[in-house]
């Protein structure tokens, strides 16, 4: 793991150095003071997110935390597309030596991509899924809204949360499940914005249930648990809860906890006659759910890569990296996330939430 992290850091620094050199070349005639200012600002932006993560629990002005987070996260996607487009124009220059100014064309192309990606991020998809089952009496109908990866904090604030809650309530759910990463990197900005007031307006007669994701651990699981007690959200770990209409939620702790219960053990505690729904933030065990005869498996975490070409990587990493799939026995849905982590862009992917209608066809409950 450390080796992969160091390799990723080396690639990131190398990409920044590549763009830095190109941009510095375009400023060869600029005054020295301007060039020095450019150098300072460029490398500040390049490391702003690392600084933000390192200082997330330090008592600093919220405006400084927010600035570091926004600048640093936007820079991640900016540098990704600057490297890709600049490299493309460098190849063009090799083929056509008279072609110059590739880095400026790259700036324009990257700016356009980021603008379109921001607009795309503002328009999450609502995925409607209908499941029929004999485990519910004929005519019984339960609507579950499933969301994941909202990442409340300096990136996703109170205004965005209000929009998401309105979206959820607009589907008139009987129950709402949050499949991890509700909180981003620290509980502090969430508490300062009093987002518990907005979270408490989620309207679901049968309750709002949540399992932790890796970011609840990053933020401090105990702090997140204590905070969520001020809302109507039930944070559950390695436990089973029975809902009306013969529904059971199998709520897993996140994979971050290496000592969490195996899915096989949890499933053995469930009622075989119930319609079982596994909530598991990271989608590593869908095949296990299928082998165990679980009716519905819900996960998130992947963001479907968030921006191209990272979605290609997540497709290779997971058997099911996003969206709905019917396995041999299990219906599975992996959310791309109602919001996202870090940079506010969706390029080649979509934010989403699932509206799942479970309809009974059986003769008994």
Would you list the DSSP string of 166-185? HHHHTT--SEEEEES--B-S
Confidence at residue 221, expressed as pLDDT on a 0 to 100 scale: 96
Confidence at residue 1, expressed as pLDDT on a 0 to 100 scale: 63
Q: What percent of the chain has pLDDT over 90?
A: 86
Q: What is the mean pLDDT of residues 99-127?
A: 95
Q: What is the mean pLDDT of residues 112-123?
A: 96
Rounded to whole angstroms, how far apart are CA atoms 316 and 322?
12
Paired tokens of 223: 């702090």
Quote helix, strand, coil % in the chain, to nearest 5. 45, 20, 35
For the stretch 232-276, pLDDT in tens is 999 999 999 999 989 999 999 999 999 999 999 999 999 989 999
For the stretch 296-340, pLDDT in tens is 999 999 999 999 999 999 999 999 999 999 999 999 999 999 999
For the stretch 134-189, pLDDT in tens is 999 998 999 999 999 999 999 899 999 999 999 999 999 999 999 999 999 899 99
pLDDT averaged over every residue in the chain: 94
For the stretch 18-62, pLDDT in tens is 999 999 999 888 899 999 999 999 999 999 988 988 887 787 788
Rounded to whole angstroms, how far apart are CA atoms 270 and 272?
6
Torsion of CA 77, 82, 85, 86, to 10 degrees: -160
| SS3 at position 255 | coil
- Please state whether beta strands 141-147 and 175-179 pair in parallel, antiparallel, or not at all (unpaired): parallel
Q: What is the mean pLDDT of residues 3-13?
A: 88
Higher pLDDT, 202 or 6: 202
pTM of the model: 0.92
Q: What is the mean pLDDT of residues 213-229?
A: 96
Confidence at residue 8, expressed as pLDDT on a 0 to 100 scale: 86
The fourth-level CATH superfamily of domain 125-362 is Metallo-dependent phosphatases (3.60.21.10)
Using the predicted structure, report yes or no on whether residue 359 has a pLDDT greater than 80: yes
Q: Please report which confidence band the pLDDT of residue 365 belongs to, taking 50, 70 and 90 as the band edges.
A: very low
Would you list the DSSP string of 288-313? HHHHHT-SEEEE---GGGSBTTHHHH
Paired tokens of 23: 């941009």
> What residues does each domain of the chain span?
2-121, 125-362
Residue 227 sits at the vertex; the CA angle it makes with 221 and 228, to the nearest 5 degrees, is 90
For the stretch 57-95, pLDDT in tens is 787 788 888 899 999 999 999 999 999 999 999 999 999
């Amino acid at each position: 793991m450390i080796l992969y992290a160091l390799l990723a850091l080396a690639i990131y620094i190398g990409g920044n150095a590549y763009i830095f050199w190109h941009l510095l070349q375009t400023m060869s005639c600029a005054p020295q003071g301007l060039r020095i200012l450019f150098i300072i600002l460029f490398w500040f932006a390049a490391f702003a997110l690392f600084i933000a993560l390192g200082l997330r629990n330090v008592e600093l002005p919220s405006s400084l935390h927010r600035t570091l987070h926004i600048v640093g996260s936007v820079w991640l996607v900016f540098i990704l597309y600057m490297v890709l487009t600049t490299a493309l124009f460098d190849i063009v220059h090799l083929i056509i030596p008279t072609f110059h100014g590739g880095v400026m064309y790259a700036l324009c192309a990257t700016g356009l991509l980021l603008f379109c990606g921001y607009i795309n991020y503002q328009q999450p998809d609502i995925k409607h899924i209908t499941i029929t089952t004999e485990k519910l009496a004929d005519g019984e109908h339960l609507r579950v809204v499933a969301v994941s990866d909202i990442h409340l904090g300096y990136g996703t604030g109170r205004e965005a949360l209000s929009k998401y809650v309105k979206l959820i309530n607009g589907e008139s759910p009987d129950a709402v499940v949050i499949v991890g990463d509700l909180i981003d990197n620290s509980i502090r900005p969430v508490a300062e914005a009093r987002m518990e007031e907005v979270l408490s307006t989620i309207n679901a007669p049968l309750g709002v249930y949540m399992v932790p994701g890796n970011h609840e651990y990053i933020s401090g699981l105990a702090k997140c648990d204590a905070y969520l007690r001020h809302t109507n959200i039930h944070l559950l770990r390695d436990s089973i809860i029975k809902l009306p209409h013969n529904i059971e939620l199998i709520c897993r702790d996140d994979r971050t906890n290496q000592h969490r219960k195996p899915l096989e053990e949890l499933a053995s505690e469930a009622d075989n006659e119930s319609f079982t729904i596994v909530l598991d933030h990271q989608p590593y065990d869908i095949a296990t759910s299928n082998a165990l005869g679980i009716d519905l498996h819900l996960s998130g975490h992947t963001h479907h890569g968030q921006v191209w070409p990272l979605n290609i990587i997540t497709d290779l990493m997971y058997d099911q990296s996003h969206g709905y799939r019917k396995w041999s026995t299990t219906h599975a849905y992996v959310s791309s996330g109602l919001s996202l982590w870090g940079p506010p862009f969706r390029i080649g992917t979509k934010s989403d939430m699932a509206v799942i209608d479970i309809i009974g066809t059986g003769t008994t409950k």
